[in-house]
Structure 1
Amino acid sequence: MAEKIKAFFQKKKSDTKFKMAGKGYKLTESSASSSKSNASDVPRPVKRAEPTTEAKVAGQAALARLESKRTDPKKFNTSYAAIQAQVKRELEAERKAAAEGTSKEEATPKERKIPQEVEANPLLAVRGVYFRCPIISDEVLTRDEWKIKIRQFLYEQLNHEEAGLTACLIIHSCNTGKEKIEQCVETICKYLENIVNNPEEEKYRKVRMSNRVFQDKVQPVEGALQLLEAAGFEQVKLMHQDEEEDFLVWRPNKSSIDHVQMLVDALRTADPVKIELDRNLQVLLPSQAAKRNELPPVFFTMTLEEIKKEQQLRSEAIAQSQILRTKAMREKEELREMKKYRYALIRVRYPDGIMLQGTFAVYERIESVIEFVKENLVSDEIPFILTTPFGYRLSDEDHDKSLIDLKLVPASILNFNWDTEILNAKGPTEYLKDDILCLIQSA
């Protein structure tokens, strides 16, 4: 694990040099292909209930397709035909139910209803928001679970050779409050830089622990004492104004000037241990997508009660005022509404009716969604187009725009089609990879 921490700081140094090198250029083919291969290793959703009969049929069909490709590539593709037939039956059932004025549940046989956990809301599109932390493990956990796991991991590494670098990460990762962390970092760096710049001065080798600055800015911060210890300080009793007090004293035999300078650099450049948003990839049949359309509370920056109360007050105010609003006023209000959300649920609907679902941060660029779609296609070399619910076709100019900029928050459906203008022909009738189709299930 010490190697991982070393690599973490080495990458930080490389990133800093890269940013200082001037205007950047496109990544090489090798790096692009490696990132693509990593991205294609798609995680399954974290929490799943028992699949329904229809989901099992669709999954078995996808598996049958895989087997048929291994044994006889010329064999008729019955698996994909089965999935298409399943989707077609569902769409016809929905149209029939709508025509008869009945719900989809009434039109569907009872044995095909989706089983739900007793405590779970059956209307939720996802059970939560999940993350990964590559520096620690490949697990997929919630943010709160990762906070606990990251703290445990870092404290376990304190007994290894890179205790100083680990303490830097503890300071940045295990404390809350940006100002509190910055003040601690500046104070510790001042202690250490005094030693580097004045190695023979006795007064710079001692820190009185009852000092107000130390008490307020250093001691309350997790990892601060461990960093000073790794830098060569030890706690001793010394006389001060005729009283014995606790001091931290730097010992040259426990560290070196070069090591102290390295810790200063590491402390100033360190970032918290990053967690990456997991896409929580799901593949949905039309009936599943129609039922599961509510977002869990973790998607909001406010509680549901606060949102409902604010919405009620706003509706009352609008009803009372009855004033006409300009386009600029409406856009400003829409933006304010979207800022209530942390995450966005994006569904990509394919011509065969199947939907691919992923979770994104609201300030992620639409380019991330396009890459997500590419990773799961049967061929990422065939050009395609995505169209927003408003009929707007996404282009290269939109790649740097965020989901909020494109008004795709908190949830949106993008329509997928092959780009026949570039192909000069009709695209394939298959869209998702076999292993992705196997994920068709009921949540």
Structure 2
Amino acid sequence: MIVDVSSQLFLKRRRLTSIDPMEAESAKPKLAAMKENFGREIRVFETTGLSQTSDVASSSTTEEPDEFYEFTAEDYYRLLSTKKEDKFLKTRKIREAEEAARRSRITKAIIRVRFPDNHTLEVTFQPSETIKSLVDLLMKVVAQPDLPFYLYTTPPKKQIKDMSEDFYSAGFVPGAIVYFSYDLPKG
């Protein structure tokens, strides 16, 4: 498959902007103060967006030859190698024990909250903490905490309503991106 350089730019995901090393050194005391104030590791990024990605990406796409879509022996062996090795049935007790073992290995959940103004807040939580702890933290750090807001995940857009659910059972472990939006009436 041949891809020209201009289309590679649009195939990449959005990246976080880099910080000047001198700025990073001056930000360390501020991050330490925030960690002491809020009781957890907090980082803030500014994300850069590509504004015209769909226009240029759609114009530079090329059709693949028919041979590209044929199923080969290499594809078959690759599928076999990724197939699960467990071919026996397990009792509920064994499944629960394996789940508890998987759960105990994970020690932190890194949650990134993306705001509408292209800023990202990265916070470290314990997997057993609830989503309510994230909302409580956001109430402390948001500029206008009196305005109603909600959190959602994509794709598809799904609003987070159960605040008593822990990060592990919500599927936010080892990390997740959650989107922030104000819940203002239209008009």
TM-score normalized with structure 1 length: 0.25
2:154 and 2:185 mapped to 1: Cα distance?
Answer: 26
Question: 1:203-242 residue pairs with structure 2 within 5 A?
Answer: none
Indicate the residue corresponding to 1:379 in structure 2: 144
> Which residue of the other structure, out of 152, 165, 170, is the alignment partner of 1:401?
165
1:406 and 1:139 mapped to 2: Cα distance?
Answer: 25
Deviation per CA, 1:158-185, whole angstroms, max 9, x where unpaired?
A: xxxxxxxxxxxxxxxxxxxxxxxxxxxx
Q: Is the 8 A contact 1:279 1:359 kept in 2?
A: yes
> Which residue of the other structure, out of 424, 428, 433, is the alignment partner of 2:185?
424
| SS class of match (2:168) | coil
CA distance 1:286–1:372, shift in 2 (3 Å): same
1:279 and 2:43 aligned: no
Question: 1:152-163 residue pairs with structure 2 within 5 A?
Answer: none
| SS class of match (1:339) | helix
Question: 1:38-187 residue pairs with structure 2 within 5 A?
Answer: 97-99=8-10, 140=36
| SS class of match (1:399) | coil
1:370 and 1:405 mapped to 2: Cα distance?
Answer: 17
Deviation at 1:103, TM superposition (A): 8.9
Deviation at 1:281, TM superposition (A): 1.6
Q: Is the 8 A contact 2:35 2:42 kept in 1?
A: no
User: How many pairs are equivalent?
Assistant: 137
Indicate the residue corresponding to 1:343 in structure 2: 108
Deviation at 1:372, TM superposition (A): 1.0
Deviation at 1:392, TM superposition (A): 3.1
CA distance 1:320–1:345, shift in 2 (3 Å): closer
CA distance 1:388–1:97, shift in 2 (3 Å): same
Deviation at 1:366, TM superposition (A): 1.0
1:352 and 1:282 mapped to 2: Cα distance?
Answer: 16
1:412 and 1:332 mapped to 2: Cα distance?
Answer: 25
Deviation per CA, 1:23-49, whole angstroms, max 9, x where unpaired?
A: xxxxxxxxxxxxxxxxxxxxxxxxxxx
Report sequence identity in percent: 24
Deviation at 1:320, TM superposition (A): 3.8
Q: Is the 8 A contact 2:131 2:165 kept in 1?
A: yes
Q: Which has the higher strand share?
A: 2
Indicate the residue corresponding to 2:175 in structure 1: 411
Q: Is the 8 A contact 2:35 2:41 kept in 1?
A: no
| SS class of match (1:358) | strand
TM-score normalized with structure 2 length: 0.54
Q: Which has the higher helix share?
A: 1
2:160 and 2:13 mapped to 1: Cα distance?
Answer: 34
CA distance 1:425–1:389, shift in 2 (3 Å): closer
Quick check: which has more Rg, 1 or 2? 1
CA distance 1:131–1:332, shift in 2 (3 Å): farther
AA aligned to 1:394 is: I
Question: 1:327-338 residue pairs with structure 2 within 5 A?
Answer: 336-338=101-103
AA aligned to 2:119 is: I
Q: Is the 8 A contact 1:365 1:400 kept in 2?
A: yes
